[in-house]
Amino acid sequence: MKILMLVNWKVQYTSKVPEGVQPPDYYVEGEPYWFFRYFEDKDTEVDVVDISSFPALERFEKEKIRFYIRQTLKVLPKLKNYDVVLSHGMQSGIVLCFLRKLFGKGDYKHIVFDIGAFNSAKESGRALRFMQYAGRSLDGVIYHTPAQIDYYRKCHPWLTKKAFFIPFGTDTEFFDPEIIEQKKTEKPFILCIGYNKRDWKTLIDAYLMTDRSIPLRIIGNKDVEKYVDEKGFDETGKNNIVVLDKVSIEELKMQIANAAFCVLPLKNFNYSFGQMTMLQQMAMGKAVVAADVPSLRPYFVEGANIKYESENKEQLSKIIETLMHDKELCESLGQKAKVVVKEQFNEQIMAGKIEDTIKYICRK
């Protein structure tokens, strides 16, 4: 089988494995890409095309129209050489969907990893109508949030028999706590990671209701500091809250390793987000407190993580206060979390289910 994968991020094309780069972010010539290294069929060939373009066009596609035209145009002449085209996200799939709807599907199958539920699960408007028209050309959809099937039934009913739920799996080798455990240097802190789609307001308000005996560290969006400043100052400075900008993946792993526990504050949306962050932290043996939202519900396991009602700062505050003063509970949750990821939510399990799904769609 020959597969073309269109990803909605930039990939480093190289002749050897680069240091400090996650497998989805590099492609080594002649070696299996990302989760494909776990496929049983070792004859599977995978080519990867990312969103790289001219800087101005890149910005326009990413920030304005939010889908990638040039990426699809680059591969159009080569599509006849593939059995399957996998688009990771509709940003990298919608143009091909539209062209197949207009001019015919061809001999290959087109499958989308629907991370954002077709434009953030919108239920009205021109964008929805366009997605409904173009999406009819799809041969299959893979999604990581079970609740998305309700959205398909409502807005894309023809997809329900072509949609396949596969739990997300993280790379337990890359996020192995044993590799960096001996490098821990800092005093513990509470960690929140994320660039967008985080409910920082609820987190900060909840934290300020505790005794703040352990600092809160927020990494990924420096703009959050404006809200922290609005809350005033105490003898610790900004109420024992530190906000940092984005960091490298290796530094991020160090931050996770040094954390007492992690918090993932999310609002209630019916599409996939937050799972990668949650599972990476669990894989590194950390207790994670996360909002009870549709995207995370399959990944909550008794004794391995803690959930709270989304936007309920009082409830979140009580949980944070408890974990601040119960080191044994943090360690117990973290140890169970690491086992759960290895046994249920690892990349190899995900890859096996993806391979089975691709073969099933191709047979049909």
Q: Are 66 and 95 a contacting pair, CB within 8 Å?
A: no
Domain co-membership, 280 together with 318 = yes
Q: Are 287 and 337 a contacting pair, CB within 8 Å?
A: yes
Domain co-membership, 308 together with 221 = yes
Rg (CA), the chain: 21
What does the angle CA 154 – CA 158 – CA 160 come to, to the nearest 5 degrees?
A: 70
The domain of 132 spans 2-169+347-363
Domain co-membership, 67 together with 112 = yes
CATH number at residue 12: 3.40.50
Domain co-membership, 161 together with 15 = yes
Token code pair at residue 343: 């046994």
Helix (H, G, I), strand (E, B), or coil: what is residue 112? strand
pLDDT of residue 237: 72
What is d(CA 119, CA 30) in angstroms, rounded to the nearest whole number?
A: 34
Domain co-membership, 130 together with 183 = no
Domain co-membership, 48 together with 31 = yes
Domain co-membership, 188 together with 322 = yes
Domain co-membership, 257 together with 313 = yes
pLDDT of residue 270: 84
What total of structural domains would you count in the chain?
2
Domain co-membership, 191 together with 123 = no
pTM for the whole thing? 0.93
Domain co-membership, 213 together with 335 = yes
Domain co-membership, 29 together with 139 = yes
pLDDT of residue 203: 97
Residue 143: C-alpha distances to residues 24, 273, 302 (Å): 17, 11, 24
pLDDT tens digits for the chain (364 residues)? 999 999 999 999 999 999 989 999 999 999 999 999 999 999 999 999 999 999 999 999 999 999 999 999 999 999 999 999 999 999 999 999 999 999 999 999 999 999 989 988 889 999 999 999 999 999 999 999 999 999 999 999 999 999 999 999 999 999 988 766 555 667 889 999 998 899 999 999 999 999 999 999 999 999 999 999 888 777 677 789 999 999 999 999 999 999 999 999 999 988 889 999 999 999 999 999 999 999 999 999 999 999 999 999 999 999 999 999 999 999 999 999 999 999 999 999 999 999 999 999 999 7
Question: Comparing C-alpha atoms, which of 287, 292, 296, 290 is closest to residue 323?
Answer: 287
CATH number at residue 193: 3.40.50.2000
Domain co-membership, 215 together with 321 = yes
* Residue 98 CB contacts under 8 Å (≥ 6 apart), including other chains: 130, 133, 134, 137
